Structure 1
Amino acid sequence: VLGGWGGLNQTQMRKVLAYSSIAHMGWTVIIALINPNLMILSLMIYIMTTLTLFMTLNLSSTTKIKSISNLWNKSTPMTMIIFLTLLSLGGLPPLTGFMPKWLILQELIINNNPTMAIVMALSALLSLFFYMRIIYVSSLTMFPTNNNLKHHWFFTQTKTTNMIPTLTTISSMLLPLTPILII
């Protein structure tokens, strides 16, 4: 809950991700004693999703929410990767980030902890809210910029990385493999 509340008023991506880590640490700690295997699965998915986001933000030199807004002019695909990864971190149902939260909530209910499951679900809504707010601000409101990129609309890559497409696919489309992963 602390991670969700703390991330609401942030403008720097580093602080947003720090509060996101606090929120995800709550999910990890809550399931550690009940089902350690589920804790490891949750932690691995979180690490892959966060690594995708860190690599994408680093490649695009994005530090603030305003920078994501300006990234639309440079590289729309990079912006979409950031948005998909943020939604996956928030636990939006069709994406991979929903899987550990769903399994943890099921495990809490099976172990007669419905109150804790409700608190965790509401804290996930807080995190999802500040991710959605970042996406809303970045996509629907453009900060005033001097846009001299009309002829060069492709993102000039100075650094190349082959891991971002793979990690993006894993961090956003692993949900259908849930039955295989929990056996």
Structure 2
Amino acid sequence: MNPMTFSLIMATMILGTLLVMTSSHWFMVWVGFEMNMLAIIPLLTKQHNPRSTEAATKYFLTQTTASMLLMMAATINLLYTGHWSIMKMVNPTASTMITLALTMKLGLTPFHLWVPEVTQGVSLSSGLVLLTWQKLAPLTILYMITPLMNTTLLMVMSLLSIAVGGWGGLNQTQLRKILAYSSIAHMGWMVSILVYNPTMTLLNLLIYIPMTTTIFMLLMTSSATTTTSMARMWNNMPLITMITLTIMLSLGGLPPLTGFLPKWLIIQEMVKNNSIITPTMMALLALLNLYFYTRITYITSLTMLPATNNTKIKWQLKNQKKMTCMPLMITASTLILPMSPMMLTLD
């Protein structure tokens, strides 16, 4: 892709997201979503193959439907209140429609089917943008209008997302699909705590984005796309393999790694609000995510394929592209949990 074109596309995508995050007018929110969607379509199709074209088409149709629902709900609310302000949501029909539109953009269950298909059909770099940056705008609007929305519907969808995110990843061998289902489960955790403590959602997002970014960067470095290719990585780049597996366990929420922190704090906050059954179900469903990440770790580290060469294991990387932020990202993805007492005192 032409560097000038790429820069223009990235600037438009960033501007669209910032417009959504800073607007209090429904029409400007809709414009920001459209700018963001139209900018990412060329990024999804930059490989120029039928699979990426199909993925971009699925993404376009899903996001267009969500934007249509959003504008329809904003129009209904305008007829009842006479305002475009996002903080004046009095009509229950409009509130429900906006909830459905935003959850469709996030990929929550039952609108989750596009997430693994689109992520699998695009490159790792495009998948990274899809599972991180594209979540910011819808989550920001949900964060702002949660008190005005149908909280029961949000809780049901978040529980279903955690369940589907765990079950869906059990029978997958493609790493991008596994990360997509993991993203669905993480979105479920973030939305579930919006009802009780929106600040926890921001904390979860700030931990989820570095972990997902790091795992995608490591997969781009190793060119691994399936669990089988992960099993073959150990002989060529053992250090990268070891770090990748550690961050996968962190994504699954294994203590004492970073990924355990948001789950622990969310469950603790729900228990403080006298909610017992919901966090218990969430904790049990989270074991599904941890199981398939543990299975990948077991397959890769304990059941290695027989090495056909008699050379020493290469502990140094070849001439790879230098990523100066990689050590910091790896540290943030694995070692934040020991800092949690300090973070809790600042709350």
Question: One fold, TM greater than 0.5?
Answer: yes
Amino acid at match of 1:160: K
Are 1:83 and 2:245 matched, yes or no? yes
| Corresponding residue number in structure 1 for 2:127 | none
1:125 offset after TM fit, Å?
0.6
Instruction: Give the deviation of 1:76 after TM superposition.
Output: 0.9
TM-score (ref. length: structure 1) = 0.94
TM-score normalised by length of structure 2: 0.51
Q: What's the C-alpha RMSD, in Å, of the aligned pairs? A: 1.5
- Structure 2: unaligned runs, 5 residues or longer: 1-162
Structure 1 pair 147/70, CA: closer, same or farther in 2 (3 Å)? Answer: farther
- Cα deviation for residue 139 of structure 1 reads 1.2
What corresponds to 1:72 in structure 2? 234
Deviation, 1:145, is: 6.3
Q: Deviations over 1:40-73 (max 9, x none)?
A: 0011101111111010111111111111111101
AA aligned to 1:85 is I
Cα distance in 2 for residues equivalent to 1:90 and 1:144? 28
Q: Which has the higher contact order (CA 8 A, sep 6+)?
A: 1
CA contact (8 A) 2:174 2:225 kept: yes
Look up the match of 2:278: 116
Cα distance in 2 for residues equivalent to 1:108 and 1:172: 25
| 1:157 has 2:345 as partner | no
- In structure 1, the gaps of 5 or more residues are none
SS at match of 1:8: coil
Deviation per CA, 1:7-41: give whole Å up to 9, x if none.
00110100000000011111011001211111100
Amino acid at match of 1:37: T
Partner in structure 1 of residue 219 of structure 2: 57
Select which of 3, 11, 14 maps to 2:176: 14
What are the superposed Cα offsets for residues 121-141 of structure 1, whole Å, 9 maximum, x if unpaired? Answer: 011111000000000111122
User: Structure 2: how far apart are the matches of 1:151 and 1:140?
Assistant: 19
Which residue in the other structure is 1:139 paired with? Answer: 301
Equivalenced residues, count: 182
Aligned to 1:178: 340
Q: Is the 8 A contact 2:235 2:307 kept in 1?
A: no
CA displacement 1:92-130 (0-9 Å, x = unmatched)? 111111110000000111111111101110111110000
Q: Which moved more, 1:68-77 or 1:125-134?
A: 68-77
Letter matched to residue 112 of structure 1: N
State the one-letter code of the partner of 1:17: L
Give the Å deviation of 1:179.
2.4
Say whether the 8 Å CA contact 1:87–1:128 is kept in structure 2. Answer: yes
Letter in 1 for 2:335: M
Q: Is the 8 A contact 1:66 1:143 kept in 2?
A: no
Give the fraction of aligned pairs with identical amino acids, expressed as a percent. Answer: 51
